[in-house]
């Protein structure tokens, strides 16, 4: 078993898109002046050797806490429709499916 210290780049990230075009808040009707208080969960990948141990849910909780500390009002995430495990983990964290559409060039 390999044991190593996790660095910032090893931990799934949270994005604070501000007023950029990638801000998902626009798709949900967030007012322009509140867009700086939008965050989104970025990709989570758990190595297959440690799946089933609740790591993705743990990372969701850590990132949600970080978003709260930054004053975030709106937290969004995207997940591929075929990724049932990630969707289940997001739903367990309180997220709800809002819509399905083409993103990142795939559906």
Per-residue HEC secondary structure of 9-72 comes to HHCCCEECCCCCCCCHHHHHCCCHHHHHHEEEECCCCCCHHHCCCCHHHHHHHHHHHHHHHCCC
Q: Which two tokens stand for residue 82?
A: 């075929």
Nearest to 21 by CA among 11, 6, 5, 32: 32
Q: Where are the domains of the chain?
A: 14-93
pTM of the shown model: 0.79
The answer to whether residue 2 scores a pLDDT higher than 80 is no
Judge whether 57 and 93 are in contact, CB under 8 Å: yes
**pLDDT tens string 7-34:** 555 555 889 999 999 899 999 999 999 9
């Amino acid at each position: 078993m390999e044991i190593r210290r996790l660095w910032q780049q090893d931990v799934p990230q949270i994005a604070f898109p501000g007023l950029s075009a990638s801000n998902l808040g626009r798709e949900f009707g967030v007012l322009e002046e509140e867009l700086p208080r939008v965050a989104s969960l970025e990709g989570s990948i758990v190595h297959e050797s440690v799946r089933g141990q609740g790591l993705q849910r743990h990372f969701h909780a850590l990132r949600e806490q970080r978003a709260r500390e930054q004053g975030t009002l709106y937290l969004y995430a995207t997940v591929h429709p075929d990724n049932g495990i990630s969707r289940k983990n997001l739903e367990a964290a309180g997220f709800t499916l809002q819509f399905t559409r083409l993103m990142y060039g795939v559906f």
